[in-house]
Structure 1
Amino acid sequence: MEKPAAEIAHRLASHAEAVCRRYLSQGRREGRYWLVGDIRNTPGRSLYVRLAVSPDGRGAAGKWTDAATGQHGDLLDIIAQAGGHDHLRDALDEARRFLSMPMPEPSDDAPRHRREKAATGTPEAARRLFDASRPIAGSVVETYLRKRGLTTLRGYDALRFHPHCYYRPSRDDAAGTRTAWPAMIAAVTDGDGTLTGVHRTWLDPATRGKAPIATPRRAMGNLLGHGVRFGIAGEIMAVGEGIETMGSLHSIMPAMPMIAGLSSAHLAAILFPAVLRRLYVARDDDPAGDAAMATLAERALVSGIEVVPLSSMLGDFNEDLRLLGDAALRAAVRARLAESDADRYLASAG
């Protein structure tokens, strides 16, 4: 059986660019490498991380070398340095959190009286939260979505409402911040429809907007490669980051399957269905969005999938819908769709 450190290092290597963007944020991608100054995330080009296996098969993804010092290692070393972790156990736990992996079970001689409770952040905890939620009809979630211009809520089976969802205040929250708010609970599922995590958006019923807390959006569970889905995967699909962004596109193309990846790093890692042949990408106009688009395009090319970018007219597609209207959004998107897809999907929206 593979040792935990080796297994986690292997998983990190499969998502090397996402690791670098999180923990070596002062660097940048160039070809098959991520370049940065050193393992302490100093700007520069001395340290290079291989993002993919070399063409000759000899260079492994996730391995790094600092040309100035001769140091080398894997992505676990980078995570340990970034978190100031002196013990391997702590670095492994940090890596598990990044990968949305469950934490290890207590040893057999550890106390068992709390083992029946799902560990915070695990897929099991996510499933329990989703099961404890209820349909959005008549709730503050429905009100929130309608305020965002999403008035046709067919196909929103992935979204539910929880009246008192626990919120753990962070150091950026004010003293006395409430620890329970109404929340929109979005199911994160894999290609088979299995729930692997949830995304929470805490809401303020007084304003019908997001709750006045430091981080009103948080996710839990196993997210990498998965997302919040509108419809069942098919040959033609659309992907993007936010739930509201993809909900806006869903409102004008309700028959096209869509996935909200929830962040640029997770969007770049979306797993492609075997039947997929054309992928529309609702890209955010920022460096992270550009990077996600580039990674998706590179991965899709290898799989023989055509990638077509969709760019919003304003800040994002939800702004387009709310401020410019349904007709303007439909016209702008039609200009980017293949003719057969425009006839098939936009026509069905009325």
Structure 2
Amino acid sequence: MVPFLDLKAQYAGIESEVLEAVRRSLASAQHVLGSEVAAFEEEFARYTGARFGVGVNSGTSALHLALLAAGVGPGDEVVTVSSTFVATVAAIDYVGARPVFVDVDPATLTMDVSKIPAAITNHTKAILPVHLHGHPADLDPVLDIAKKNKLHVIEDAAQAHGAEYKGRRVGSIGDLGCFSFYPGKNLGAYGEGGMVVTNNEELAHTVRMLRDWGQERKYHHDLKGFNYRMEGIQGAILRVKLRHLDGWTDARRRHASRYNALLDGLNLARPIELDWARHVYHVYAVRIAQRDRLQEMLQSQGIQTAIHYPIPVHLQKAYRDFGYSNGDLPVTEAAAKQLLSLPMYPELTEQQVKMVCEAVSSFNETTSEKAKPV
């Protein structure tokens, strides 16, 4: 069997370090925020190249607070994409704003920057690109458009820990960057966690207050805040795992290179890495017209796969009130029907990658239908 993700294998390699960190955290009795979280905030901000990091209880909370800190609220609009996890859009809804969707680039499936100008209105307050699957969005044009229109840029980097855009790590490039430490992420907690990073001291200060009931001092609530604090034990665990992240990323990139080589020439589209990008392969997703049949065949051979995401956010029942329908985002909609995520985690073996590719190749030989371009 080849699992889609094997967190047990990862834990086995760092068990002694994690247990020591947990013991240290428990002994400190600093169970919410505290010194371990503060140290992790500093270390992760430095890792991304940002001046400040604010730890929160989830990636969704990071997005929510980043939007609030940027002044986004009722009546405002945020330009974003539908090819993402629902949390990106939910956070916009939380602050009372309206998402304005633009389609994605067919190659990277990140925001199609050529579509942004037409989406901007007098109500636009921010642009929220998503670094999907670990490949950065094209940020320079986004930043240029934002500057001309006096908009904030908030990066959704939940899937892109350590990814680089033109030599700079994502998250630190826009006004605010939002990360998730959900267990399955490239850098995952043993529970929930998230962080906002920024180079703006005032924005960092606002996020720091908002995550802790809007207070600077205990019982002095200057803002209407939230209980979005990171737990001390997660900060301690994430400090351990951060030390291994670059090695894990190198392994992911080796697996992706191996996949690319072994799947070359088949009737499917492989993920790409543009010249200006460093892809960290949170997901290795191929595109193929017979996606569902391929998934069933792989499952029958003990190979687990996943689909990210079968229904774009703009077509989800919960978000019909935003007024979008089938056909509005053709590239996004076509990709949602074709993407299949193959096993990808650092502890994969070469033999496992080969097994997956041989199974995909065998399926490919049984069908002549190619992945349709979009």
TM-score (norm. length: structure 1): 0.31
With normalisation by structure 2, the TM-score equals 0.29
Higher helix residue share? 2
Which structure is higher in strand share?
1
**Bigger relative contact order, structure 1 or 2, given CA contacts below 8 A and separation 6+?**
2
